[in-house]
Chains A and B, each alone.
Chain A
């Protein structure tokens, strides 16, 4: 537990628990089972039986969780895993085979490329960059479909990506939770 060290001098208060870790804060190593579990929860959230306005607002949860892990743990989750999850999404959505797979693979690559830059910013500015990545991902899906003969989607198509970006800071806090050291430095 020597690796777990809180940068702030005092113990972990409730206020710091509800904000994302600062860049200088050192987190505990992620538990290997936690990543697949969160990805699975993301997949399940994507399969929620929604309709109407909620469906328009619904972000691509799986893409969001995937992006988080690609940025935080590039050694565990990369292009290959993203591609496999994309295939699962294609089946779940009964869409054209390979469209999500392609989009997620590109998303994972972009995350790996930009991760050092994204991590330097505070959460809300990270969200802006995530919005661009998610929009690019959904634009790729749209491109594939339109080339395949589908009609152009309506403008509401981009809303999902934007709500996804808005969810980025809370998601960061949530997914970092198990990695935040809970003991005060006095215990070491």
Chain B
């Protein structure tokens, strides 16, 4: 087109050049990126757009769900019968334990009352199903099919049948986003079941095992130890299984031991999850005279 010097006829006009458009939209994108990462202004827009996209998400799932339904419908009668028999024998095998359970629970409650320990988690919980895995390869997230309508709140803990999976981070009207344990810098306060050593487990990002940071090299921890939530943060109720210690490296030159852990829950494989309600309101923050004094002392020392 460069060799045409005369003005082209009006039907050849196609608005601004591609480069100009790219510059315009590129600048808007950069502004959006900045606004979103820096100030999180755009959460409302995200909410609206998520509502608009929700039917699409459901529509995409329908074929898979229908296939699954058809599969279970046509599973043979014999298989069901054998399953049934197996479950019956299992039920029978577990009967003594199950019958003894109420007694144990009573006894437990009495002992807890005696020692004034708070009861373990018995709050409301919402069962949810994983809609899809977050496709962002930089974060570890899943989306579940319960949202604001089901009373889900941001910050609630999410578990599966084996242990802690993660935490609700964003709530949309009909679905919510769960950040997994393995997401970078996702923190869970834990304690070692065997020795009671407290620590915080940090996710390390996609494909890497979470780790315990700031544990001294002589901490009472070894490979194969189970980690439970310590309940100190008020988010995760105490006593939920979290992970197993995969490796402990104690190097004499280092200040801290390097401890990696393997999550117990099917963090990226389980389809059925349980969203735990807030067990108890966190107690009010204690007044902090000691901490308030500390900097003053430091300043005084510097002056003197």
Binding site for B on A (CB under 8 A): 43-44, 46-52, 55, 58, 75, 78-80, 83, 86-88, 91-99, 101-102, 105-106, 108-109, 112-113, 142, 144-145, 148-151, 153-154, 157
Interface of B is mostly: helix
30 contacting pairs across A/B (C-beta < 8 A): A44-B56, A47-B60, A50-B133, A51-B268, A51-B269, A58-B135, A75-B14, A78-B18, A78-B21, A79-B25, A83-B29, A91-B50, A94-B141, A94-B170, A97-B32, A97-B35, A98-B30, A98-B31, A98-B33, A99-B29, A101-B28, A101-B29, A102-B30, A105-B26, A108-B18, A149-B37, A150-B138, A150-B139, A153-B137, A154-B207
Contact A96 B37 (CB under 8 A): yes
Tell me whether A94 and B177 are in contact in the complex, defined as CB-CB below 8 angstroms, given that A105-B29, A113-B18, A153-B206 are known contacts.
yes
Q: Which of B3-39 contact A (CB under 8 A)?
A: 14, 18-19, 21-22, 25-26, 28-33, 35-37
With A49-B64, A93-B136, A98-B33 given, can you name 10 additional A-B contacts, CB distance below 8 Å?
A48-B132, A78-B21, A83-B25, A101-B25, A101-B28, A113-B18, A145-B138, A151-B184, A153-B137, A154-B137
Closest to B34 in A: A98
Report whether over half of chain A's contact residues are helix, strand or loop; otherwise say mixed: helix
B-side contacts of A95, CB under 8 Å: 136, 138-139
B50, A112: Cβ atoms closer than 8 Å: no
Query: A25–B46 Cα gap in the complex (Å)?
Result: 45
Decide if B136 touches A94 in the complex (CB within 8 Å): yes
Contact A150 B33 (CB under 8 A): no
Which residues of B have CB within 8 Å of A96?
33, 36-37
45-91 of chain B: CB within 8 A of chain A: 45-46, 49-50, 53, 56-57, 59-61, 64
Cβ–Cβ < 8 Å partners of A86 in chain B: 29
Of A43, A44, A86, A101, most buried by chain B (CB within 10 Å of CB) is A101
Of residues 237 to 268 in B, which have CB atoms within 8 Å of A's CB atoms? 268
Q: Which residues on A sit within 8 Å (CB–CB) of B268? A: 51-52
B104: chain A residues at CB < 8 Å are none
B3 to chain A, nearest CB (A): 16
Are B60 and A51 within 8 A (Cβ)? no
Measured CB to CB, the closest approach of chain A to B11, in angstroms, equals 11
Q: How far is the CA of A157 from the CA of B206 in the complex (A)?
A: 11
Collect the chain B residues with CB atoms within 8 Å of residue A88's CB: 49, 53
Q: Give complex CA distance A75, B15 in Å.
A: 11
CB neighbours (8 Å) of B133 from chain A are: 49-51, 55
What is the distance, in angstroms, from B256's C-beta to the closest C-beta of chain A?
Answer: 20
**A44-B59, A49-B133, A106-B22 are contacts. A94–B53 as well, Cβ < 8 Å?**
no
Is B138 in contact with A93, judged by CB distance below 8 angstroms? Answer: no
Which residues of B have CB within 8 Å of A51? 132-133, 268-269
A49 and B33 contacting across the interface, CB-CB below 8 Å:
no
| Chain B: minimal CB distance from A163 (Å) | 14
Chain B 116-160: CB-based contact to A (< 8 A → 1; otherwise 0): 000000000000001111111111010100000000000000000
Instruction: Establish whether residues A47 and B207, one from each chain, have CB atoms under 8 Å apart when the complex forms.
Output: no
B60 and A80 form a contact (CB under 8 A): no
Q: A109 near B18 (CB under 8 angstroms)?
A: yes
A171 to B132, CA, bound (A): 25
What A residues does B61 contact at CB under 8 A?
A: 49
A52 to B270, CA, bound (A): 12
Q: Are B60 and A98 in contact (CB under 8 A)?
A: no
Contact A48 B21 (CB under 8 A): no
Q: A98-B32, A148-B37 are in contact. Are A47 and B132 (CB under 8 A)?
A: yes
Task: Indicate if the CB atoms of B30 and A109 lie closer than 8 Å.
Answer: no
Pairwise interchain contact A94-B46, C-beta atoms closer than 8 A: yes
Query: Which residue of the partner chain B has the closest CB to A83?
Result: B25
Residue B197, interface by CB 8 Å: no
